[in-house]
């Protein structure tokens, strides 16, 4: 018996950052992100019946080539999914993936790839009659076990992960992400100019980064701040309040890097050009009043977010003032994708 499925899942960029985990990939604080439209991982999964053994059996090909290092991550994911997916041991799996974006440019490939694997595994479970519970919730749950932030890549637009309070209601779950639908129409089109400062591979993995939050002197304060920022940014998205949005998003980006800089083993991922560009963005905004702001992932590259109405002004700014400070003068233009993951009959 054999079968095949194909899924495409978006990467995402966090507005409120998940930083620090507990238990089995549970977040220390709630987070919320924007799913991108063009930056995606495309994955096909083929399964072929085999003699049952106690081992998982699979191959992973990235852009046509076998990738042994990434196989370890898939193995860890399969081990973590647990008994509800033990039927997988009856099959040999073949994952084939490719990304629509380059490596190490500040676009999280772990998020889009783990989300696409989880979707494929859930489709396989569904095809074989082993899926229980709502499809996307399950896929989000599984992708979380591969990479925490991946669980938000299961939805288009805005997605939150973790328990939080908003409008006096307790919402969200630490186990899986949920879509945020209460978004003002002024925020319906957000563009993301990804300014590539340095594309060398990350010096510190996010696993190490998260672990440095254990015993971090500011852990409690960070959790309180993230919860407050979560409420503020959701309010801003709901009301169409750009100023609050901008303040929270920039505060979160700088907080993420500050937490890295003052952990017991400190590390600095920003480069001099990162600071220079932040200053340029702030001056440009002061001068023109453009509705744009920056955020950062765990790396030196900037995401310059803006409303669609500012597109031409911001592109001109990038071309004229930022380009000369970018690695090979390169940036990537993306935007928030409303559609979320895409399935195709294989
Ligand atoms: O999902 P991970 O373990 O790669 O962690 C991602 C953490 C950040 O990208 C820095 C923040 C986030 O919420 O996406």
**Nearest ligand 1 atom, CA 298:** 10
Per-residue tokens: 151:
């669980």
CB distance 149 to ligand 1 below 6 Å = yes
Strand pairing report for 292-296 and 302-307: antiparallel
Burial zone of 167 (CB within 10 Å; 0-12 exposed, 13-18 middle, 19+ buried): exposed
**Distance from the CA of 326 to the center of ligand 1, in angstroms?**
23
**Nearest ligand 1 atom, CA 13:** 14
**pLDDT at res. 345:** 67
Q: 67: left (phi > 0), else alpha (psi -120 to 50), else beta?
A: beta
**pLDDT at res. 84:** 84
**pLDDT at res. 220:** 98
3-state class (DSSP) for residue 56: coil
Per-residue tokens: 163:
């328990």
**Distance from the CA of 331 to the center of ligand 1, in angstroms?**
21
DSSP secondary structure of 237-248: HHHT-HHHHHHH
Taking CA atoms, 341 is separated from 12, 118, 157, 262, 330, in Å, by: 12, 11, 11, 37, 27
Question: Cα separation of 121 and 127, whole Å?
Answer: 10
**Distance from the CA of 149 to the center of ligand 1, in angstroms?**
5
CB distance 297 to ligand 1 below 6 Å = yes
Please report, in tens digits, the pLDDT of each residue of the chain (346 residues total).
899 999 999 999 999 999 999 999 999 999 999 999 999 999 999 999 998 888 899 999 999 999 888 899 999 999 999 888 999 999 999 999 999 999 888 889 999 999 999 999 999 999 999 999 999 999 999 999 999 999 999 999 999 999 999 999 999 999 999 999 999 999 999 999 999 999 998 888 999 999 999 999 999 999 999 999 999 999 999 999 999 999 999 999 999 999 999 999 999 999 999 999 999 999 999 999 999 999 999 999 999 999 999 999 999 999 999 999 999 999 999 999 999 999 986 5
Contact (CB, 8 A) for 314 and 191: yes
CB distance 18 to ligand 1 below 6 Å = yes
Question: What would you report as the CA-atom Rg of the chain, rounded to the nearest whole angstrom?
Answer: 20
């Amino acid at each position: 018996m054999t079968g095949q499925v194909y899924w495409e899942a978006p990467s995402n960029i966090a507005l409120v950052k998940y930083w620090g985990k507990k238990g089995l990939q549970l977040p220390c604080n709630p987070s919320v992100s924007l799913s991108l439209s063009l930056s995606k991982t495309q994955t096909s999964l083929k399964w072929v019946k085999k003699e049952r053994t106690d081992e998982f059996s699979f191959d992973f090909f990235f852009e046509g080539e076998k990738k042994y290092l990434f196989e370890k991550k898939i193995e860890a994911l399969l081990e973590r999914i647990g008994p509800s997916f033990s039927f997988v041991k009856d099959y040999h799996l073949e994952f084939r993936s490719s990304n629509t974006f380059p490596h190490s440019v500040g676009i999280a490939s772990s998020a889009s790839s783990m989300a696409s694997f989880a979707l494929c595994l859930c489709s396989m479970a569904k095809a074989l009659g082993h899926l229980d519970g709502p499809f996307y919730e399950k896929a989000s749950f599984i992708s979380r076990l591969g990479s925490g932030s991946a669980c938000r890549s299961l939805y288009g637009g805005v997605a939150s992960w973790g328990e939080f309070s908003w409008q006096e209601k307790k919402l969200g779950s630490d186990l899986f992400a949920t879509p945020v639908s209460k978004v003002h129409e002024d925020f319906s089109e957000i563009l993301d100019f990804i300014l590539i400062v340095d594309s060398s591979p990350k010096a510190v993995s996010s696993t190490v980064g998260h672990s440095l939050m254990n015993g971090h002197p500011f852990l409690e304060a960070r959790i309180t701040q993230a919860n407050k920022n979560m409420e503020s940014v959701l309010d801003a998205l709901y009301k169409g309040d750009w100023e609050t949005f901008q303040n929270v998003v920039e505060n979160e980006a700088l907080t993420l890097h500050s937490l890295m800089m003052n952990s017991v083993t400190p590390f600095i991922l920003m480069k001099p050009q990162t600071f220079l560009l932040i200053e340029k963005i702030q001056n440009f905004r002061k001068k023109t009043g453009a509705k744009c702001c920056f955020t950062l992932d765990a790396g030196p590259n900037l995401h310059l977010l803006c409303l669609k109405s500012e597109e031409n002004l911001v592109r001109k700014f990038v071309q004229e003032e930022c380009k000369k400070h970018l690695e090979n003068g390169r940036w990537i233009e993306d935007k928030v994708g409303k559609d979320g993951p895409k399935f195709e009959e294989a």
